[in-house]
Amino acid sequence: MGFEAASAGTHPANEVAEHALTLLEGRGINTEGMRPKAVDEFDPTAFDKVISMGCGVHCPAIKIDEDWGLDDPVGREYEVYEATAAEIERRLTLLINQEA
Protein backbone atom coordinates (compact mmCIF):
# COMPACT_ATOMS: atom_id res chain seq x y z
CA MET A 1 0.00 0.00 0.00
CA GLY A 2 3.04 2.25 -0.13
CA PHE A 3 3.79 2.29 3.58
CA GLU A 4 6.94 1.24 5.35
CA ALA A 5 5.91 -0.32 8.63
CA ALA A 6 7.47 -1.76 11.74
CA SER A 7 5.83 -3.81 14.43
CA ALA A 8 6.64 -4.22 18.10
CA GLY A 9 4.95 -5.25 21.30
CA THR A 10 5.13 -4.67 25.00
CA HIS A 11 5.54 -8.41 25.65
CA PRO A 12 7.00 -9.92 22.47
CA ALA A 13 6.82 -13.67 21.96
CA ASN A 14 9.83 -15.86 21.22
CA GLU A 15 8.85 -16.31 17.57
CA VAL A 16 6.45 -14.84 15.02
CA ALA A 17 3.11 -16.65 15.00
CA GLU A 18 2.85 -19.28 12.26
CA HIS A 19 -0.49 -17.92 11.05
CA ALA A 20 1.01 -14.43 10.76
CA LEU A 21 3.86 -15.76 8.63
CA THR A 22 1.45 -17.72 6.41
CA LEU A 23 -0.75 -14.67 5.91
CA LEU A 24 2.15 -12.34 5.10
CA GLU A 25 3.75 -14.81 2.70
CA GLY A 26 0.37 -15.30 1.01
CA ARG A 27 0.34 -11.56 0.34
CA GLY A 28 3.81 -11.67 -1.18
CA ILE A 29 5.59 -10.18 1.83
CA ASN A 30 9.06 -11.57 2.55
CA THR A 31 9.16 -12.88 6.13
CA GLU A 32 12.80 -13.93 6.16
CA GLY A 33 14.49 -12.77 9.35
CA MET A 34 11.28 -11.55 10.98
CA ARG A 35 11.29 -11.77 14.73
CA PRO A 36 9.17 -10.37 17.53
CA LYS A 37 10.49 -7.04 18.79
CA ALA A 38 9.92 -4.98 21.91
CA VAL A 39 8.71 -1.38 21.67
CA ASP A 40 11.92 -0.16 23.29
CA GLU A 41 13.86 -1.35 20.21
CA PHE A 42 12.40 1.53 18.17
CA ASP A 43 12.64 5.30 18.16
CA PRO A 44 8.99 6.32 17.75
CA THR A 45 10.04 9.75 16.45
CA ALA A 46 11.47 8.03 13.35
CA PHE A 47 7.92 7.32 12.14
CA ASP A 48 5.27 9.62 10.66
CA LYS A 49 2.56 7.90 12.70
CA VAL A 50 2.57 5.49 15.60
CA ILE A 51 -0.55 3.37 15.64
CA SER A 52 -1.40 1.01 18.46
CA MET A 53 -3.40 -2.06 17.63
CA GLY A 54 -4.77 -1.81 21.15
CA CYS A 55 -4.84 -5.40 22.34
CA GLY A 56 -5.47 -4.22 25.90
CA VAL A 57 -1.99 -2.84 26.56
CA HIS A 58 -0.83 0.61 27.62
CA CYS A 59 2.49 2.14 26.63
CA PRO A 60 3.05 5.48 28.41
CA ALA A 61 6.61 5.89 27.05
CA ILE A 62 5.44 6.30 23.45
CA LYS A 63 3.17 8.97 21.97
CA ILE A 64 0.44 7.02 20.18
CA ASP A 65 -1.17 8.88 17.27
CA GLU A 66 -4.07 6.44 16.94
CA ASP A 67 -5.25 3.42 18.90
CA TRP A 68 -7.28 1.07 16.75
CA GLY A 69 -8.44 -1.14 19.62
CA LEU A 70 -8.06 -4.41 17.72
CA ASP A 71 -8.07 -7.79 19.40
CA ASP A 72 -4.79 -9.71 19.32
CA PRO A 73 -5.22 -12.73 17.04
CA VAL A 74 -2.31 -14.67 18.62
CA GLY A 75 -3.30 -18.22 19.46
CA ARG A 76 -6.50 -18.08 17.45
CA GLU A 77 -7.46 -19.66 14.14
CA TYR A 78 -6.14 -18.45 10.79
CA GLU A 79 -9.46 -16.79 9.89
CA VAL A 80 -9.02 -14.39 12.82
CA TYR A 81 -5.65 -13.33 11.38
CA GLU A 82 -7.30 -12.77 7.99
CA ALA A 83 -10.05 -10.67 9.56
CA THR A 84 -7.52 -8.63 11.53
CA ALA A 85 -5.41 -8.05 8.40
CA ALA A 86 -8.51 -6.97 6.46
CA GLU A 87 -9.40 -4.47 9.20
CA ILE A 88 -5.86 -3.07 9.25
CA GLU A 89 -5.97 -2.70 5.48
CA ARG A 90 -9.37 -0.98 5.68
CA ARG A 91 -8.07 1.51 8.23
CA LEU A 92 -4.90 2.17 6.24
CA THR A 93 -7.07 2.93 3.21
CA LEU A 94 -9.00 5.45 5.32
CA LEU A 95 -5.69 7.05 6.36
CA ILE A 96 -4.60 7.33 2.72
CA ASN A 97 -7.89 8.96 1.81
CA GLN A 98 -7.69 11.39 4.76
CA GLU A 99 -4.16 12.48 3.85
CA ALA A 100 -4.93 12.89 0.12
If one compares 99 and 21, the residue with the highest pLDDT of the two is 21
When pLDDT is cut at 50, 70 and 90, the band that residue 56 belongs to is low
Residue 10 covered by a domain: no
**pTM score, two decimals?**
0.84
The answer to whether position 57 is within a domain reads: yes
> Does residue 11 belong to any structural domain of this protein?
no
**Is residue 12 a part of any domain in this protein?**
no
Own/partner pairs for 83-87, CB < 8 Å, 24+ apart? 85/23, 85/27
Dihedral over Cα of 14, 79, 53, 24: its sign: positive
The CATH number linked to 70 is 3.40.50.2300
Q: Which of the residue ranges 17-21, 74-78, 85-89, 94-98 would you say has the lowest mean pLDDT? A: 94-98
Over residues 33-45, the mean pLDDT reads 90
Containing domain of residue 51, as a range?
18-99
What mean pLDDT, rounded, does the chain reach? 89
Mean pLDDT within 34-54 = 89
